[in-house]
């Protein structure tokens, strides 16, 4: 009962556990894989904007698997990320669909434009003419 209450406030404890395990696995990677994986994980947190915990945990876990495999195989970092690490990171993150923070604003913008075109005020538009 208490665990459900805590999870209602903080999110899934299992997801947090899985995330911490993935972070520990990244920490255990040899260089230069550790630095590359940590940098990409940081970028995912800023770029991805994923709000679904299951999607985020899956993405971080798969990303960690990628770097573990690369370190075992001795694959050079550039062979994985290519010449443009930003392009790699964004393409990787795009593979994991889920709800994002921007989705709410996209819906709000679309609703406001539809209302403007139809001549009706958007119901959630709190701006006033001053």
Contact call for residues 55 and 94 (beta carbons, < 8 A): no
How far apart (Å, rounded) are the C-alpha atoms in residues 60 and 96? 10
According to the model, what pLDDT value does residue 128 have?
Answer: 42
pLDDT digits (tens, 9 = 90+) for 70-110: 999 999 999 999 999 999 998 998 888 766 667 788 888 99
CA angle 12, 14, 22 (to 5 degrees): 115
pLDDT digits (tens, 9 = 90+) for 17-29: 999 999 999 999 9
Token pair of 94 as six digits: 């795009």
Residue 130: strand pairing partners: none
Residue 50: strand pairing partners: 100
Could you tell me the residue ranges of all domains in the chain? 2-100
Pinpoint the alpha helices (H) of 74-125.
77-81, 85-94, 101-118
Classify domain 2-100 by CATH number: 1.10.1900.10
């Amino acid at each position: 009962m208490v665990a459900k209450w805590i999870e209602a406030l903080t999110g899934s404890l299992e997801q947090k556990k899985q995330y911490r395990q993935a972070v520990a696995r990244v920490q255990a990677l040899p260089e230069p894989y550790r630095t590359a994986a940590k940098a990409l994980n940081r970028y995912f947190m800023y770029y991805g904007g994923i709000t679904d915990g299951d999607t985020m945990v899956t993405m971080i876990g798969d990303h960690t698997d990628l770097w573990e495999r690369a370190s075992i195989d001795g694959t050079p970092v550039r062979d994985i990320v290519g010449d443009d690490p930003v392009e790699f990171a964004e393409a990787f993150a795009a593979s994991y669909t889920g709800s994002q923070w921007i989705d709410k604003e996209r819906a709000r913008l679309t609703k406001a434009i539809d209302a403007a075109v139809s001549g009706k005020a958007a119901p959630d538009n709190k701006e006033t003419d001053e």
